Amino acid sequence: MTIDLTLNNGVVMPALGLGVFQSPPEETSAAVETALAVGYRHIDTAAAYLNEREVGEGIRRSGLDRSDVFIETKVWVTDYGRDETLHAFEKATGKLGVDRLDLLILHQPVPSRFETTIAAYQALETLLADGRVRAIGVSNFTPAHLDRLLAETEIVPAVNQVELHPYFSQPDVRRADEQHGIVTQAWSPIGGITFYPGWGEKRRSVMDDPELAAIGADHDKSPAQVMLRWHLQEGRSAIPKSTNPERIAQNFDVFDFELSDDELARIDALDTGERSGPDPDVLREELFQRVIPEA
Ligand code: A2P
């Protein structure tokens, strides 16, 4: 049995989805097809991953009805602005080969030009009102970014997708999301950001954590499965990335065991308070060099 989350507008989202960040385009369709065959019904992509076309192809190859798959994608910062973001929707749906998205979110705030973030979000509100998207949200928003957004817009985001794994479990963001009725969605939910090759050699991989190994051994599950179960039991959505068929299947095999309150607390206690990914308050100019191609 899988787990669904009901978003703040009543839309139902499968809590566990396949992530495709850094999935090479040539491997993405196969990964999506494998995931849908083993039971996933939620795929998370982004314009900036440059693999939306292959995600659409994988979904079509699965033979499932469009309405059986929850498709989430993100608008990149170079497409922020009212008209730009409306056009970004056309680019995304054109590449995915669908008319409607289940969830469209802003990839990250642009703190130094927040008015463009607001304009982009207002375009999402228009798309929602017009029935082009079923839910809208944000990503990499801190509680302060959320406050700024909520002060200037009408619709409370359904989802806030942030870096979240046992070494950086974001209690402040989770609390703010909960207060506003926003579902927290974990990116790098099994801590890939702590061990991606080439992302800083001194990182400590959460995958090697002895506490997670010990908890996993007690349930005959891997550290990745323990982490995913932890997200699900704490009410979050999680979108683990894999292009490997066995690991795609392993990451979905998390509905037949239960962590105790004590085990959840032991995992919560692993938080270091230090992120591995980029600080959403620091705007890196190179992010504005990335232009999203037309469909
Ligand atoms: P691969 O695609 O070769 O499976 P995250 O989503 O937390 O960022 O993690 C993604 C990283 O974790 C990728 O490097 C992925 O590699 C790897 N990965 C995915 N699933 C597992 C698993 N069950 N066990 C170990 N590594 C995994």
Please check the confidence at residue 197 and state whether its pLDDT lies above 90: no
38-73: pLDDT as tens digits: 999 999 999 999 999 999 999 999 999 999 999 999
Determine if the pTM surpasses 0.75: yes
Name the token pair of 278: 């980029």
Mean pLDDT of 249-271: 98
207-243: pLDDT as tens digits: 999 999 999 999 999 999 999 999 999 999 999 999 9
Q: Spell out the residues 6+ positions from residue 244 whose beta carbon is closer than 8 angstroms to its own.
A: none
Enumerate residues lining ligand 1, CB below 6 A.
19, 188-193, 207, 222, 224, 240-244, 247, 250-251
Mean pLDDT of 117-145: 98
pLDDT of residue 132: 98
> Which of 209, 231, 241 most suits a substitution to test ligand 1, by most atoms within 8 Å of the C-beta?
241
pLDDT of residue 286: 86
86-128: pLDDT as tens digits: 999 999 999 999 999 999 999 999 999 999 999 999 999 999 9
- Per-residue pLDDT band for 196 (boundaries 50, 70, 90) equals confident
Q: Is residue 40 flagged as an active site residue?
A: no
pLDDT of residue 284: 83
Q: Spell out the residues 6+ positions from residue 84 whose beta carbon is closer than 8 angstroms to its own.
A: 78, 120, 123
Calculate how far, in angstroms, residue 270's C-alpha sits from the geometric centre of ligand 1: 19
Name the token pair of 275: 């992120």
19-44: pLDDT as tens digits: 999 999 999 999 999 999 999 999 99
Please check the confidence at residue 198 and state whether its pLDDT lies above 80: no
Q: Spell out the residues 6+ positions from residue 100 whose beta carbon is closer than 8 angstroms to its own.
A: 93, 131, 132, 133, 134
Query: Degrees (nearest 5) of the Cα angle 57, 58, 63?
Result: 100
